[in-house]
Amino acid sequence: MSWITHGRFISSKVTRQDACGSQRKSRNEVYIMIYVGIDVASEKHDCCILSEQNKKLESFSFPNTKAGFALLLRVCKKYADQGQTKIGLESTGIYGDNLCAFLRRNGYEIRTFNPLLIKKSIQATTLRKTKTDQSDACFLASYLARELPEPDPQVSYHISELKSLTRARFSAVRERSKAKAKLKALLICVFPEFHTAFSNVFGTAAIAILRKYPSAQKLATARKSTVSKILYEASRHRLGDEKAAMLMELAKHSVGCHSETKTLEIQYYLDQIELNTAYIRRYEASIQNIMNQINSPITTIPGIGFVLGAMILAELGDIGRFAAPEKVLAFAGLEPSVYQSGKYTPASGTMVKRGSPYLRWALLMAARSTIVNNPNFATYYQKKVSEGKHYNVICSHVAKKLVRTIFALLKKNTAYSLHYSLNAA
């Protein structure tokens, strides 16, 4: 594949002989500026280095190892000083984290690009459907030279840890929800009457019974004293013989079908629920500890607790990289899409949803919470209700108002107050 940039032809196909020749020619040549594009993968990375005149200096692959990182460092230093080396790569999640950390430790600034933006730029550059890792690396280098965006801000240790913790908690909560849904479905098959005995089938007492008797048939043949003892201990002495008798009566007349396979599945999902619940508590304890240390004003907003506040802070990173609240909305994917052509101008567009899904989820959840817990946002909610808007649409409007409030608080490092919110948001 080839790219034409600034009127120059850049070939992505480089043989070992070409690379060696390039090294011999450039051994004593130092450039004012070099542009390094890196296509990141799990096991190896592809690199392309261009001069300020868009001359290809190097095009090579290196392994995702300490030796590979050292090779990249030696090649970069061969052509330019650290301050004159611009490095760009796609934002590929975890695959580039170690490489970026290594380069920053060695004094280099990193610029990451949205993969969708790079894909659209490539499509606008060529009609050919050839794609290789080396050609992508060369395009990243040429894109870096052409656009030269601001380097990514350094993320503090606390924010980096919060990002990992909040995402891990989000995943654990989601997995626990899936396990609960599966468990409910299995109970409908083996003991559909079980839910009538408990207000919450995932409560401590209900779970204790299911662990011992995962089907109606097993509960129907159990000893009443044993069932009563389990309930008594699990409910902190609130339940006993009466509840045990009720459960056993339901089990004896249950229409559920006994299945050893389904009872084994029930035990599996009970373990999943218990495991995820334990880790959620550990994640929350760590999140709480970090939030206490950074003492952010975001948690002074009624309706935003330490978990949602931590998630919003972690996904935003440095608030200084956003010039206005509208930039935050775009980053979260909460801005409306706009499509106008000729005389056609739609009344309103749908939500873009191209930003951070974690930030968007956290802001929408926070919006729902502030509607209930914050008088300012409750008033704003009622205003939108009177305008006849749908609940989900109202929540998106509240989220936008919330973003403006959060932006003002973080920029000024000021605690929230009802009077301040009216003026700032």
Domains in the chain (CATH in brackets) are 34-152 (3.30.420.10), 166-284 (1.10.287), 296-412 (no CATH)
In this prediction the pTM is 0.82
Average pLDDT, the chain: 87
pLDDT number for residue 19: 44
pLDDT at 143 over 50: yes
**DSSP string covering 174-238, please?**
HHHHHHHHHHHHHHHHH-TTGGGG-S-TTSHHHHHHHHH--SHHHHHTS-HHHHHHHHHHHTTTS
What integer is the mean pLDDT of 409-413? 94
- Tell me how far the alpha carbon of residue 140 is from its chain's centroid: 24
Q: Which two tokens stand for residue 167?
A: 């995402």
pLDDT at 340 over 60: yes
pLDDT at 155 over 50: yes
pLDDT at 337 over 70: no
Strands 44-51 and 56-63: antiparallel
Q: Which two tokens stand for residue 34?
A: 């070099």
Three-class secondary structure of residue 151 per DSSP: coil
What integer is the mean pLDDT of 224-253? 94
pLDDT number for residue 304: 97
Q: What percent of the chain has pLDDT over 70?
A: 87
Q: What percent of the chain has pLDDT over 90?
A: 69
Question: pLDDT digits over 312-323, tens only?
Answer: 999 999 898 899
pLDDT at 154 over 90: no
CA 180 – CA 64 distance, rounded (Å): 39
CA 340 – CA 230 distance, rounded (Å): 66
CA-to-CA separations, 97 to 103, 318, 321, in angstroms, rounded? 10, 18, 20
Instruction: Return the top range by mean pLDDT from 15-24, 70-79, 163-172.
Output: 163-172
E strand or H helix at 110, and its extent?
A: strand 110-113
**Block residue for tokens 């998106």:** 396
**Block residue for tokens 């050609």:** 135
Tell me if 297 sits within 8 A of 414, measured CB to CB: yes
**Block residue for tokens 């240390």:** 293
Tell me if 311 sits within 8 A of 390, measured CB to CB: no
Tell me if 10 sits within 8 A of 140, measured CB to CB: no
Q: Which two tokens stand for residue 53?
A: 């005149």
> Angle at the Cα of 361 (from 355 to 367), degrees rounded to 5?
115
Q: Which two tokens stand for residue 201?
A: 């089938």
